[in-house]
């Protein structure tokens, strides 16, 4: 067991998650996880996997406390337990630990990380989206990092599920390894004098650049500019073909891009706004999330039972989230 009871200290760790997580790989030859031994807690039935070095321990929701989970490399919440897992008290558990949580059977992590939101069947898996979503809190900036794991060609079979779990194991192992290296270096003081000198020079340049920019540009102006960059990036994404799946993939990616940006904006506002104003905004944000989800659902029901249903749902989520980013910047940011 390789457990690190410390929050992430560098954003570079997240680069490790850029590997084959897409739902539509054209390669039907799947790779088993061949990494280190993993100890994973699971709420629900133990999944069937190919890897012998992965140990599962079934736990109940009563055992879902930070004290009980610190010895595990990750926690899985299986399909039949997602509604219970979205209860408010567990949001505090997910945000308290430096280990990833994986929700199996959904691509929507928001009901689990946001209080006062309930999980419902609109978040259950449908072809065209990830079958599982992993989340991990970054205590560096108190933001949620999340990533999805799909099924090969959107077909749910035992073989494809096992492949998905293998890719999840890879993500856990790489995260553990990255944390080990980072913390070991800190403990051993492995930075050489040259490293420190280079780091100091870099920091001096960054600080000078930041101060120069701050002198002429407000935070609000910076984020308005960043909004335009984000919009341009999203507009450049094109579907690989005209299939509904390809279109869904673009809209899912676009929603994730804006949702990540929204979380970043929200974090800045938490630092800028007085406590009373932030409490008011927090309540408005909860209401907006309900409005967003209800609006997307209503729009998708026009295509109920058709291939366009989920495409419309995610497209509306992306559009409304983009609008909300601009609204928060222009109305609240300084």
The 3 state secondary structure assigned to 50-109 is CCCCEEEEEECHHHCCHHHHCCCCEEEECHHHHHHHCCHHHHHHHHHCCCCEEEECECCC
- Return the higher-pLDDT residue of 195 and 143: 143
Percent of the chain with pLDDT over 90: 37
Q: Answer yes or no: do 244 and 168 share one domain.
A: no
Q: How confident is the model at residue 201 (pLDDT cuts 50, 70, 90)?
A: low
Q: What is the mean pLDDT of residues 98-118?
A: 89
Query: 305 Cβ partners below 8 Å, 6+ apart?
Result: none
Is residue 221 predicted with pLDDT exceeding 80? yes
The reported pLDDT for the residue numbered 193 is 52
Question: Of 160, 184, 208, which marks where a domain is finished?
Answer: 184
Is residue 300 predicted with pLDDT exceeding 60? yes
Q: Residue 225's CB: how many other CB atoms inside 10 A?
A: 11
DSSP 287-314: HHHHHHHHHHHHHHGGGTTSTHHHHHHH
- Return the higher-pLDDT residue of 140 and 260: 260
d(CA 270, CA 315): 28
CATH of the domain at 256: 1.20.1270
Q: Answer yes or no: do 180 and 226 share one domain.
A: no
Q: Answer yes or no: do 39 and 171 share one domain.
A: yes
Of the candidate ranges 98-102, 123-127, 199-203, the one whose mean pLDDT is the lowest: 199-203
Instruction: Indicate whether 3 belongs to any domain.
Output: no
Residue 231, helix vs strand vs coil: helix
Q: Answer yes or no: do 45 and 126 share one domain.
A: yes
Total-model pTM? 0.53
- Return the higher-pLDDT residue of 284 and 122: 284
Instruction: Indicate whether 192 belongs to any domain.
Output: no
The reported pLDDT for the residue numbered 252 is 83
Q: Answer yes or no: do 24 and 109 share one domain.
A: yes
- Which pair of tokens denotes residue 299? 């729009």
Q: What is the mean pLDDT of residues 260-264?
A: 88
Instruction: Indicate whether 6 belongs to any domain.
Output: no
The reported pLDDT for the residue numbered 229 is 86
- Return the higher-pLDDT residue of 43 and 227: 43
Phi-psi region of 237 (alpha: psi -120 to 50; beta: other; left: phi over 0): beta
Instruction: Report whether 148 contacts 167 (CB < 8 A).
Output: no
Q: What is the mean pLDDT of residues 231-241?
A: 82
Is residue 304 predicted with pLDDT exceeding 90? no
Count of structural domains, the chain: 2
Range of the domain at 262: 218-332
d(CA 245, CA 247): 5
Beta strands (DSSP E) in the chain are 38-43, 54-59, 74-77, 101-104, 132-138, 143-149
Instruction: Indicate whether 33 belongs to any domain.
Output: yes
Angle at 102 between CA 98 and CA 104, to 5 degrees: 170
Q: What is the mean pLDDT of residues 198-227?
A: 62
What strand order describes the sheet that includes 101-104? 54-59, 38-43, 74-77, 101-104, 132-138, 143-149
Instruction: Report whether 245 contacts 127 (CB < 8 A).
Output: yes
Query: 90 Cβ partners below 8 Å, 6+ apart?
Result: 61, 64, 112
Sign of the dihedral defined by the CA atoms of residues 91, 94, 97, 98, in that order: negative
Alpha-carbon Rg for the chain, nearest whole angstrom, is 21
Instruction: Indicate whether 153 belongs to any domain.
Output: yes
Q: If you search the block for the tokens 């701050």, which residue do you land on?
A: 214
pLDDT per position as a tens digit, 142-151 = 778 888 888 8
Query: Mean pLDDT score of the chain, rounded to an integer?
Result: 80
The reported pLDDT for the residue numbered 165 is 95
Is residue 203 predicted with pLDDT exceeding 60? no
């Amino acid at each position: 067991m390789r457990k690190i009871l410390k929050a992430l200290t560098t954003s570079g760790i997240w680069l490790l998650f850029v590997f084959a997580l897409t739902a539509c790989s054209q390669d039907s030859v799947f790779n088993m996880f061949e990494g280190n031994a993993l100890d994973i807690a699971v709420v629900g039935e133990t999944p069937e996997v190919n890897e012998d070095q992965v140990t599962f321990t079934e736990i109940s929701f009563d055992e879902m406390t930070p004290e009980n989970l610190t010895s595990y490399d990750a926690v899985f919440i299986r399909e039949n337990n997602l509604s219970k897992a979205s209860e408010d008290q567990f949001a505090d558990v997910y945000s308290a630990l430096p280990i990833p949580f994986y929700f199996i059977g959904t691509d929507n992590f928001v009901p689990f990380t946001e209080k006062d939101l309930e999980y419902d069947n609109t978040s259950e898996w449908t072809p065209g989206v990830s079958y599982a979503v992993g989340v991990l809190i970054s205590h560096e900036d108190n933001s949620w990092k999340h990533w999805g794991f799909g099924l090969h060609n959107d077909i749910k079979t035992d073989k494809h599920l096992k492949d998905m779990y293998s890719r999840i194991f890879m993500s856990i192992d790489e995260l553990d390894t990255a944390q080990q290296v980072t913390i070991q270096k800190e403990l051993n003081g492995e930075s050489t004098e040259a490293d420190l000198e280079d780091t100091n020079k870099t920091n001096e340049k960054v600080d000078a650049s930041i101060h120069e920019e701050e002198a002429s540009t407000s935070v609000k102006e910076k984020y308005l500019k960043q909004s335009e960059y984000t919009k341009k990036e999203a507009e450049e994404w094109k579907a690989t073909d005209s299939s509904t799946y390809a279109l869904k993939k673009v809209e899912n990616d676009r929603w994730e891009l804006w949702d990540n940006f929204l979380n970043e904006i929200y974090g800045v506002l938490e630092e800028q706004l007085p406590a009373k104003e932030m409490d008011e905004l927090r309540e408005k944000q909860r209401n907006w999330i309900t409005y967003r989800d209800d609006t997307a659902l209503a729009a998708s029901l026009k295509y109920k039972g058709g291939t366009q249903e989920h495409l419309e749902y995610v497209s509306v989520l992306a559009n409304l989230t983009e609008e909300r980013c601009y609204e928060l910047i222009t109305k609240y940011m300084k």
